[in-house]
Amino acid sequence: MLQVMSKKVLIVEDNELNMKLFRDLLEAHGYETVQTREGLKALDMAREHKPDLILMDIQLPEVSGLDVTKWIKNDDALSEIPVVAVTAFAMKGDEERIRQGGCEGYMSKPITVTTFIETVRKFLG
C-alpha cells in the first residue's frame, strides 16, 4: 500500500481554541499540522519542519505576524512557502496592508469551513 506523503501546514496562532479549530479542520481534511503559539518560534519551526503552507495569525503577543512573515520571506530557504494570514483585523484596508506585507493569502476571522478549506486547497492542491 502506497503511503502518500500528506502536505504539512504550520499554524501560528496564539488563541488555544482557534488553534484547535484550525488543527482539527486541517487534520479532518487529511493535512498534517505543526503548531506554535509564538511568533518568535515560528521561524525555527518553519526551518525544522519545512511546511508546505503557513497559516499566520497577525496579532501575536510578542511580535506581529507581519514581522514573522517578513523574516520568512527574507529567508532564501523559506521564501517559497506560501503564507496565508488568518486574522481578526477585518477593517477596511487591513487585507491590502497584510498582502503588501508579503502574505499570499488572507482570511478574516471568523472563518467559514468552506472558504477555509478552499483557500488551503488553493495553495496545496
Give me the residues that bind another protein (CB under 8 A), please.
15, 17-18, 20-21, 24-25, 28, 59, 88-92, 108-114, 116
Q: Measured from the CB atom, is 50 or 99 closer to another protein?
A: 99
Q: Measured from the CB atom, is 19 or 54 closer to another protein?
A: 19
Helices (H), ranges, the chain: 16-28, 39-49, 65-74, 94-100, 113-124
Q: Measured from the CB atom, is 116 or 123 closer to another protein?
A: 116
CA dist 5 to 27, 63, 74, Å?
14, 32, 27
In the block, cell 491590502 appears at 96
In the block, cell 503564507 appears at 83
Q: Measured from the CB atom, is 21 or 81 closer to another protein?
A: 21
CA dist 124 to 4, 14, 71, 75, 96, Å?
14, 23, 22, 21, 23
Rounded (10°) angle between helices 113-124 and 16-28: 60
